[in-house]
Amino acid sequence: MKAKNIYNIFILVVLFSALFLGAGFALNNHETSAFNRANVYYEQANYDEAIKQYNSILEGGWESGNLYYNLGNCYFKKGELGRAILNYEKARRLMPLDKDLESNYEYACSLIEGQAVAYKKSLPVRVLSNLFEKFTVDGLTILLSALYMLILMSILISLFFKSLKKHALLFSVFMGLFFIVGFAGLKGKISLLNKEAIVIAKAADAKFEPIDKATTYFTLYKGMKVEIISSKENWYKVRRQDNKNGWVENDTLIVF
């Protein structure tokens, strides 16, 4: 009976995994040819046309890390630092481990005007945020799912194999801790989706109130990243990286 059960579990796991893989697998012939066309335009320094081609893919509802990367390069060459950084940021969400991307992103950020603002976080927060930066949302989701499976498996092992009971339970407790931390990380990542924004105007004043005549608290420069807290009419309340909040007109930003 036991062997049969384990066999069944195996079959199920294989079936479902196949299902997920299949779901993500699609032939994007149309998109690929547009991508290649755009690259040719880029080589001819025809950045506007290249951007148009890349955007056509996005309009079709498809995205990829490399696509955003190339788009970022186009905007960078065109001199639109804000949109370049915006696309690099989008690419980072899809391929956070890409070295070329990291290099270009850092270079682009180094060109931002104004003083770099950084808020010193405590060590564990810094370590965790650095760790979670290396994951995409889907990657983290799969990791958590795997952890969840491991926990269930180790509990079952502790039931069926008495000699391994202690170890298996200890293991599951550890996995549980990892799961909780990972879950918090995933939740944080998801909460930032469509809540981050890049300044595309040359400079944007962050004001105390969502009114034109309100006092300016601080100024944001092209390429700076902010977090959207709330919105009102055509104003966004944003939080800078040093945790200072202010109201910014929504046409100076692009949310991603």
Site residues (CB under 8 A) for other proteins?
1, 5, 8-9, 12, 16, 19-20, 23-24, 26, 28, 31-32, 35, 39, 42, 57-58, 61-67, 69-70, 73, 76-77, 94-95, 100, 103-104, 107-108, 137-138, 141-142, 145, 148-149, 152, 155-156, 159-160, 186, 190
Cβ contacts of 144-151, under 8 Å, gap ≥ 24: 144/179, 144/182, 144/183, 144/186, 147/175, 147/178, 147/179, 147/182, 148/179, 149/13, 150/175, 151/175, 151/176, 151/179
Q: What angle do CA 30, 35, 36 make, to 5 degrees?
A: 100
* Min dist. Cβ of residue 171 to other proteins (A): 16
Residue closer to other proteins by CB (options 69, 236) is: 69
Residue closer to other proteins by CB (options 49, 63) is: 63
The Cα 226–Cα 245 span in angstroms is 9
Is the distance from CB of 255 to CB of 197 less than 8 angstroms?
yes
* Min dist. Cβ of residue 127 to other proteins (A): 24
Is the distance from CB of 226 to CB of 240 less than 8 angstroms?
yes
Residue closer to other proteins by CB (options 103, 129) is: 103
Residue closer to other proteins by CB (options 57, 199) is: 57
* Min dist. Cβ of residue 38 to other proteins (A): 9
The Cα 46–Cα 77 span in angstroms is 10
Q: Within 10 A of 167 (CB to CB), how many other CB atoms are there?
A: 13
Residue closer to other proteins by CB (options 66, 219) is: 66
* Min dist. Cβ of residue 130 to other proteins (A): 22
Question: Residue 154's closest CA among 143, 144, 166?
Answer: 166
Residue closer to other proteins by CB (options 137, 201) is: 137
* Min dist. Cβ of residue 28 to other proteins (A): 4
* Min dist. Cβ of residue 65 to other proteins (A): 5
